[in-house]
Amino acid sequence: MAEDKMTIDIMEDGPFIVDNLDVLENSKGEKIESKKKIALCRCGASGNKPFCDGTHSKIGFTGKREAKVKLNKEKEYEGKDISVFFNLALCYHAKECVNGLPSVFDKDAKPWINPQGSDTESIISTIKKCPSGALSYKLGDKQVRDFGLNEKITIEKDGPYRVSGNIELKIEQDLEPSSKEHFALCRCGASKNKPYCDGSHSGIGFTDNDN
């Protein structure tokens, strides 16, 4: 018998409904016990984070996407051996790239991505750490967006849900993430790019001391 597919449904002005998830873990890497079907808070105000407790209906939460930028727009930075692609609309400034390999990813440089700044292996390793799927790469004629990650949802400390692996996000085609295998979903309620995180959690001082 085939395994039940792991999926994420987005309830209008409500939580994420997640089915058949194997691993839900907190920011410490500890597994959180959960049922086959769970509702994850995305308004940021639940008293039972990460789970929804219905607070969204009391505070008038809206899940409407306000950002106008297209999600499928990528910029290519060509290098001799490897080219790097960047999707600004999906980046929430987790800084895995600029902190991990500043010789290639330097926010103060123009252009800010220099594929000649390090060896190919180091660049690929750094790109694989990007939780939003905003970064990908091309070797030869093949662009690589997915990396064979394990299926799980990780709660970033005071940040988004980091989704990885073969977990289907049920969403309109024009709102699909660059990588269907790893992306970051807003859980503070303030993102203008819902359902994706845009880094607004930092600006509003969102905290979740339990996860």
Domains and their CATH numbers in the chain: 7-65+149-204 (3.40.5.90), 75-144 (3.30.70.20)
Q: Could you tell me which of 105, 17, 13, 123 has the C-alpha nearest to residue 58?
A: 13
pLDDT at 175: 92
Assess whether pLDDT exceeds 90 at residue 4: no
The string of pLDDT tens digits covering residues 115-125 is: 999 999 999 99
pLDDT at 81: 95
Residues 40/50, Cβ–Cβ less than 8 Å: yes
Average pLDDT over residues 160-178: 94
The string of pLDDT tens digits covering residues 13-37 is: 999 999 999 999 999 999 999 999 9
Assess whether pLDDT exceeds 60 at residue 2: no
pLDDT at 69: 85
Share the mean pLDDT of the chain: 96
